[in-house]
Amino acid sequence: MPIVVFRRKMERIKIGQIVNAVALRGEVKIYNYSDLERFEELDTVILANRKQSKEYKIENVRYQKNMVIVKFKGVNDRNQAEALKDYEVFITEEDLRELPEDTFYIRDLIGCAVKDLETGNVIGTISDVLQNTAQDLYQVDLEGGKQVFIPAVAQFVKNVNIAEKLVEVTLIPGFLGGAEEA
């Protein structure tokens, strides 16, 4: 009897979007959702739109202000590059970097239950992580449709267990603004 191995479909992670062609040699300009140097570490990426997706080998990477300019193998002129406009740029889980201790991917935090260690109650679920501030803020959806933002600092966040999808926090009195009684 043959052995059948079912592989979990490899998740794609979006790291950018092609916004335009550059010059005449087939380069594309990418709006980057990752750090700029990320493209230098990659051999291939997946380009996808609503109709199709295809893996492309990276030939060259350079930068123009905050944009990444990439030359893909087989894309050799402006027309071919323009045909890739609006394609999203993905990597697979295999291409994710190993993170330092106490550092997490946002995609892993989203959906985690948030438990208040003082009360022992789950107060909500992380729905987003905002990164435009001095420290990251965990956007937590509470029951009843309200939201709170918990700073991702040791004073509040005591433990993160991605495997159990649980973030344990200690909040100051009144932090939930009376929502904890709801």
Looking at the predicted structure, is the pLDDT value of residue 182 above 50?
A: no
> Which amino acid is it at 3?
I
Whole-angstrom distance, CA of residue 78 vs CA of residue 73: 13
Residues 6+ away with beta carbon under 8 Å from 115? 121, 122, 123, 166, 167, 168, 169
Whole-angstrom distance, CA of residue 59 vs CA of residue 167: 41
- Least confident interval from 4-13, 129-138, 141-150: 4-13
Give the pLDDT of residue 95: 81
pTM (2 d.p.): 0.62
Alpha helical stretches, state H, 41-158:
78-82, 106-109
Residue 104 contacts residue 58 (beta carbons within 8 Å): no
Give the pLDDT of residue 178: 56
Percent of the chain with pLDDT over 90: 48
- pLDDT tens-digit readout, 76-98: 999 999 999 999 999 888 887 77
- pLDDT tens-digit readout, 23-53: 888 999 999 887 778 888 899 999 999 999 9
